[in-house]
Amino acid sequence: MQKLALHWKHAGTRTGLVPTMGCLHAGHLSLVQRARRVVGKNGAVVVSIYVNPTQFGPAEDFSKYPRDLKRDLKLCRGAGVDVVFAPTDREMYPALECGDMSPLSKRRHVGAVQHFSTYVVEEKLSQRMEGASRPAHFRGVTTVVAKLFHLVLPDVAVFGQKDFQQATIIQRMVADLNFPVKIVVAPTVRERDGLALSSRNQYLTGDLRRQATVLWCAIQMARVTAKKSKTFSALQLKAAVKKLVECEPDAKLDYVEFFEPETLAPVANVTRGTQMALAVFVGQTRLIDNARI
């Protein structure tokens, strides 16, 4: 991949990267379209497909995360992607060479990570929300994205607003560590009923799919509340969101936060322009969403 990327660089071909974990859906494909628009028809669009073990916690869904490379390749071909980069664990993390697919975070305890010991860690923006609920998650994300940037050498990389905190952290990493990559953040693609597209939506069987719309309902409720009263206490709104979410029999709020979109700093009062993010367990499935109020 790096050889090809260097070839493109020398030939003056603009390269756009869309990092994914595969099991592609229309949200991912919208990022591909965006990458194509930025690099032009003579540019190269690369989609990486890699379920990165270092961003999953030991109790998370790494091993059962949906994978369907054959279908993904077909979708990428149809979307005009030039190269799909789908490395193996062994290529990305030599420590996993014995074929054990368990997350590295689990294996750290047994001292298995002998051939991989360098991580990229963002220390401020990753403290709250996803970072608080999923320790070591963002360390895995920044590390794998840094590796992908070195492998693909993209001029531009496209991320989804769906993972708002992740996109903000990547932008910070790129600025802090002088990566010569332009980061584009593309809007969240939703189902008709507001549910944000996600590979994990496949887990939502039976009534869970209906219950999953509660994240979008919570966002709408916050918007309506803030509109009615111009400014509104974040604490009160958090309590109202919790109540709304937990009206659904299988839904449990993990967190809801109201914050400044650039700094991710929590706000005491919600007004127009405040960003909202929430994580909800619907059955066993953990879903996230966010929006500008």
Interacting residue with ligand AMP among 44, 153, 196, 288 (CB under 6 A)? 196
Residue at token pair 């298995």: 112
Burial 122-147 (b: 16+ CB within 10 A, else e): beebbebbbbeebebbbbbbbbbbbb
Candidates 95-103, 142-150, 156-164, 223-231: pick the segment binding ligand AMP (CB under 6 A).
156-164
Strand partners, 275: 259, 292
Indicate the DSSP class of residue 188.
Answer: P
Name the amino acid, one letter, at 87.
Answer: P
Q: What is the size of the binding site for ligand AMP (CB under 6 A)?
A: 17
End-to-end CA, the chain: 41
- Confirm whether 109 is a catalytic residue: no
Interacting residue with ligand AMP among 34, 137, 147, 162 (CB under 6 A)? 162
Q: Which of residues 25-84 bind ligand AMP (CB under 6 A)?
A: 27-28, 30-31
Interacting residue with ligand AMP among 20, 126, 211, 274 (CB under 6 A)? 20
Cβ neighbors of 173 (< 8 A, separation 6 or more) are 120, 122, 142, 145, 146, 179
Stated length of the chain: 293
Interacting residue with ligand AMP among 4, 5, 17, 21 (CB under 6 A)? 21
CB 9 within 8 A of CB 55: no
CA distance 114 to 128: 30
Q: Any contact of residue 188 with ligand AMP (CB under 6 A)?
A: yes
Would you say 127 or 202 has its CB closer to ligand AMP? 202
Query: Of 28, 109, 115, 137, which residue is the catalytic one?
Result: 28
Q: Which of residues 202-241 bind ligand AMP (CB under 6 A)?
A: none
Interacting residue with ligand AMP among 159, 179, 203, 232 (CB under 6 A)? 159
Q: Any contact of residue 134 with ligand AMP (CB under 6 A)?
A: no
Strand partners, 18: 47
| Catalytically annotated residues | 28
Residues that bind ligand AMP (CB under 6 A): 20-21, 27-28, 30-31, 159-160, 162-163, 186, 188-189, 196-199
